[in-house]
Each structure stands twice: as C-alpha cells, then as structure tokens.
Structure 1
Amino acid sequence: MRLENILALTKGTLLSDPSISIFESVVFEPSKVKRGSLFVAYNPEEIPEALQNGAYGVMFDKPTQMGDREVAWIKVAELDNALKKLLRFYLLEKELQVYACDPITLHLSQMVSTPSNFCNVEGSMRDVWEKLWPLEKKSIVLFSPALTDPELFISHSQLIRAQESTITIIEQTLFETSFIHNDTFYERQMLSPFFIPYLEHLLFFYTFLRIPFQIKGFSKIGHFIPVFTNSRLECKEFGTSERVVIFEPYLELIDEQIDFLDAQASWAKIIYLLPDSMRSALTIGVENILFYRYPEEIISLLQTKDFHFALVAGVDKGILRPTRSSMKQLELDF
C-alpha cells in the first residue's frame, strides 16, 4: 500500500518526512506489527510497542506524542472514516459480489459453515477491515445496511429470496424447531419458528449461488432471546419454568414478534415492555403494552405483572441476574 495513495484517499496530513513510501500491511494490534507495517492507533498508548516491533507508519486521530521522524506519522480527521475510504478503494480490484440483507438473515448466516470465498460481515470498521481485506478475488459478501455502512461498497444487490418453501417443520415450540431441508433432518434446533422464513431465504440464497453450506446450530443468534425465570426474576435453566422473558434488541422487529406471539401463544398471558420512543409507532389495538423510559424501570414492571411471556424490546438479557446454578447453562444456551 503506497503512502501517497493513503494520503490522497484519507485526506490525511503527513506530519513527518519519512524515507519510506510503501507499507507491507495494515495492523491494529501492536503485538502483530512487523517490519514495514502501518499501525492504526485507535489507542495512542500502544504506539511505542508498535514502533518497537517495526512499524513504518502510524495513522492516528487523537492527540499523539510523535517520536522518530523517519516514521510516517499520518493524522486523519477520524480513523473509521479514513479506513472506510481506503478499504472501498482497495476492494475495487477484488470484484466482490456484495449482497444486502436484514440483520436476522445476517446473524443466521453466522450459524452456517461456508467456504472461505463467502464472508458475512458486521461490527466495527476494524472488524470489517480484518474480514474483507484478506478475501480472494470475486468472493461473495453478505452484509446488513442496518449494521454496516453500505457506502463501504461501490455497489451491492439485494439478497435473492426464496419463491417457494423448501423447509418442512416437523415439530415446534415457541423457541425450538425440528425441520427437514433437502432431505436432511435437523432435530430440536435452538431456533424459534419465528426465524424459519428468514432461514428459508438464506438457504435459497446459498443454493442459488451454489455456495456449499452446513448448518452448525443456532444457539447465539442475538434475537428473540428467551430467558426462563421464576417469580423473583431469577434466571433458570431452559424450559424449567412457566415464566419467560424474551429480549429483542432490534426495535424494527417488535411488531412482527408481537404478531408471532399473538398467533402462536394465544392461550398465554403476554405482556410487552417497550421503550417510550415506540409509543407513537405501534399499531392501535395491541393490548398489555407497558412503556419504560429507562432500563432500570423494566425489573420493577416485570415484578408487578403476572405473565407467561414478556417481550422486552431494546435492552440486553443482562439486566436479569442469573443464579449461580443457572449461569453455566445460560452461557451454553445463549
């Protein structure tokens, strides 16, 4: 990677007069720096170690004490934005096939084994860089515009969606599904039937693009997360109580999940705890909705209400404190 290209793309300022003009790699951890690396200094305190390990350049956006003038000290306005511009430019030659999808489909793809020429990407710009930079030419990339800036890519297409059902549900509860796909039986997957339509589209996408895949399991999707509790809101092992608090951090899914619970658990006492910001956006006619302004209010609301299922939007399951006996099981389940 040439120094002059980095400066042109990032609009960075070179604050030294180095003799070097090319970097061998871009590195984020000082322990991984090798002679010739450009070190991206999210933490300025790590710069001395990076220099000791042979960094030829340092890119930074925070006040930094510069040392060796033979090192290329590159000051940029904001590191994430600078990296996005660099990555966007250097991905051009890779001719990637990029597809956009919703967050659930993206997270489901992380539960499926695929070849190295397929990549699902989300996270910080550093995470995105480390996933995309090593990709081979013409690899396939799946991302969600809700989680990753779409401007990172020159162009992208929408996920190719299934036109007919290829998954047959054999048995289901609210939080587990046994199903058949392509003559393979997947028994008691930790996957709510709520996710099956999303999985349908994902597997069709793989099939259509001839991407080999193997389902690993669905234990950590990060959506519609059930936590079984007792009357004191102590976390219990999966399936061992009749009170379940369901957490959904992604607010855009709440209306769909309300409809799902209403259809699949019409017999149950269900309450919905939603942030006050959603008050004006909800469909009129939904009953048993409680609004909270601060996450601290959620525990009090759950303690004062009788329910079988409580759908809690916009917070993490960490607001409930697991008992010692259930902590290990909860880590395995979620």
Structure 2
Amino acid sequence: MRLENILALSKGSLLGDPSVSLFESVVFDPSKVKRGSFFVAYSPDDIALALQNGAYGVMFDKPTQICDSEVAWIKVDNIDSALKKLLRFYLLEKELQVYACDPITLHLSSMISTPSNFASIEGPMSAIWDKLWPLEKKSIVLFSPTLTDSEIFIEHSQLIRAQEKTITIIEQTLFETSFIHNDTFYERQMLSPFFIPYLEHLLFFYTFLRIPFQIKGFSKMGHFIPVFTNSRLESKEFGSSDRVVIFEPLLELIDEQIDFLDAQASWAKIIYLLPESMRSSLTIGVENFLFYRYTEEVLSILQAKSFHFALVAGVDKSILNPSRSAMRQLELDF
C-alpha cells in the first residue's frame, strides 16, 4: 500500500518528512508488526512496541508524541472512518459479490464451515479489515447492515431466500432441534426451532451460489438465549429446571419471539419483560407484559413473578450473576 494513496483516501495529515513511501501490510496488533508494516494505533500506548518491531508508518486519531522522523505519522479525525474509505477503494479491484442479511442469519453462517472464498463479517473495523483484505478476487461476502456499515461496499444485494421449506424437523423442544436437510440427519442440535427458517434461507443461499458447506454443530446463539434457573434466579444446568429466563438483545426480534413462544408453549406461564420504550396501546391491560425503566429493575421483577418462561428484551444474561453486594441489596428489598 502506497503512502500517497493512504493520505488521499483517508484525508489524513502527514506529520514530518518520512523517507518511506510503501508499506508491506496493515496491522492492528503491535505484537504482529513486522519490518515495513503500517500500524493502525487505536491506542497510543501500542505505538512504542509497533515501532520497536519495525513499523514504517503509524495512523492515529488521539494525541500522540511523534518520536521518529523517519516513520510516516498520519493523523486522521477518526480511525474507523479512515479505514472504511481505504477499504472501500481497495475492494474495488476484488470484484466481491456482497450480500446483506439479518443478524441471525449472519450468526448462523459463522457456525457453518465454508471455503476460503466465502466470508461472513461483523465486529470492529479492525476485524472486518483482517477478514476482507486477504480475500481472493470474486469472493462472496455476507454481512448485516444492522451490525456493519454498508458504505464499506460500493454495492450489495439482498440475501437470496428460499421459497419453500428445505428442512424437515423430526423432533424439537423450545431450545433444541433434530432435523433433516438434503437427506442428512442432524440430531439434537443446540438450535431452537425459532432459528430454523433463518437456517433454511442460509442453506438455500449456499446451494444457489454453489458454496460448499458443512454443518458440524451449532454453538449457543447470541439470540433467544435460555438460562435455566431456580426460584432464586441462580443459574442451573441446561434442561434441569422448569423456570427459564430467555434473553434477547435485539428489540427488533421481540415480536417474532413472542409469537413463537405463544405458539410453541401455549401450555406454559410466560411473561414478557420489555423496556418502557416498547410499551404501546396493544400491551395495556395485558397481565403478562411487564416493563422496566432501568436494567437494575429486571432482577426484582423476575424475583416477584412466577413463570415457566420469561422473555427479557434488551438486557444481557449477566444480570443473573450480580455482585454479592447487589444480591444482598435485592434480598433486603424483598
């Protein structure tokens, strides 16, 4: 990567008069810097090690002491914005096929083995850069506009969706599924039936674009997260209690998950614990819809209610493991 291109695309300011004009690689971890690298310094504290390891250039957006005149020091207003402009330009020659999808489909794709010419991306800008930069020409990329700025790409298409069911569910609970796809039986996958329509679209997408894939098993999703608890809200082993708190970080998915629980667990006592911002005329007077203003209220509400399933929106499951002082206060409140 040439210095003049970095300056032109990032709109950065070159400090000093360095002799270098070309860099071998772009690196974010100072311990991985090699002679000739261009180091992106999210933290000024990392610069000394990067220089020690041979960095020829440094990009930064925080106050930094310039200590080596032979190094190309590039000051930018915002590192992520600068990287987005650089990446957008350099991806042009790769002619990538880019597809947008929802966050659940993207997370499912990260659990399925695919060849190196396919990449699903999310996370900080540094992780996205490391994933996209090595891709070969005409590779296929999947991302979610909810999680990643779509302006990284010149253009993208929507995920190609299945028009008919391609998965047959053999057995299911609320949180596990055994199913058949393409004559292959996948037994007791740690995947709620809630996710099966999303998986169908993803596998159809792979098949349509002739992307080889292999399902080895699913780890826990970052959505519709079940935590089995006792009456004191202490976490128990999976499947060992009849009191489950389900956490969903994305508010956009709550309506769909409410419909799923109402249909699949009509026998159960279910409560829905939602942020005050989701209160509407449709929920007025509905006994199992409860609302919280502050995250700290969630535990006390759960403690006060009896339920088989409690769907909690917009709160992390870590609230079930509060500090001892917080637990003592909670006990005093009751």
Q: How does 1:1-334 map to 2 (within 5 A)?
A: 1-280=1-280, 287-321=287-321
Q: Does the 8 Å CA contact 1:98/1:156 hold for their aligned counterparts?
A: yes
Deviations 1:66-104 (A, max 9, x none): 111111010000000000000010011110000000000
- Taking the aligned partners of 1:247 and 1:281, their CA distance within structure 2 comes to 24
Task: Quote how far apart the aligned CAs of 1:220 are.
Answer: 2.3
- Taking the aligned partners of 1:170 and 1:250, their CA distance within structure 2 comes to 29
**Which blocks of at least 5 consecutive residues in structure 2 are unaligned?**
323-334
- Report the TM-score when normalising by structure 1: 0.94
Q: Does the 8 Å CA contact 1:33/1:54 hold for their aligned counterparts?
A: yes
Partner secondary structure for residue 217 of structure 2:
coil
Residue identity in the other structure for 1:255: D
Q: Does the 8 Å CA contact 2:283/2:289 hold for their aligned counterparts?
A: no
Between the aligned residues of both structures, percent identity stands at 84
Tell me the residue number matched to 1:332. Answer: none
Residue identity in the other structure for 2:132: L
More moved, 289-298 vs 201-210: 289-298
Cα pair distance change 1:76/1:282, threshold 3 Å: farther
Tell me the residue number matched to 1:326. Answer: none
- Taking the aligned partners of 2:275 and 2:125, their CA distance within structure 1 comes to 28
Partner secondary structure for residue 39 of structure 1:
strand
- Taking the aligned partners of 1:126 and 1:199, their CA distance within structure 2 comes to 28
- Taking the aligned partners of 2:72 and 2:286, their CA distance within structure 1 comes to 60
Cα pair distance change 1:32/1:282, threshold 3 Å: farther
Number of matched residues?
Answer: 322
Deviations 1:234-274 (A, max 9, x none): 00001010000000001100000001000111111000111
Partner secondary structure for residue 8 of structure 1:
helix
- Kindly report structure 1 stretches of 4+ aligned residues shifted beyond 4 Å: 281-287
Task: Quote how far apart the aligned CAs of 1:39 are.
Answer: 0.5
Residue identity in the other structure for 2:260: F
Deviations 1:255-298 (A, max 9, x none): 00001000111111000111111113866785411111111111
Cα pair distance change 1:229/1:151, threshold 3 Å: same
Q: Does the 8 Å CA contact 1:255/1:282 hold for their aligned counterparts?
A: no
Cα pair distance change 1:162/1:286, threshold 3 Å: farther
Cα pair distance change 1:141/1:246, threshold 3 Å: same
Q: Does the 8 Å CA contact 2:271/2:289 hold for their aligned counterparts?
A: yes
Partner secondary structure for residue 91 of structure 2:
helix
Partner secondary structure for residue 273 of structure 1:
strand
- Taking the aligned partners of 1:213 and 1:150, their CA distance within structure 2 comes to 25
Cα pair distance change 1:299/1:177, threshold 3 Å: same
Deviations 1:133-174 (A, max 9, x none): 111111000000000000000000000000111100001111
RMSD of aligned alpha carbons = 1.3
Partner secondary structure for residue 207 of structure 1:
helix
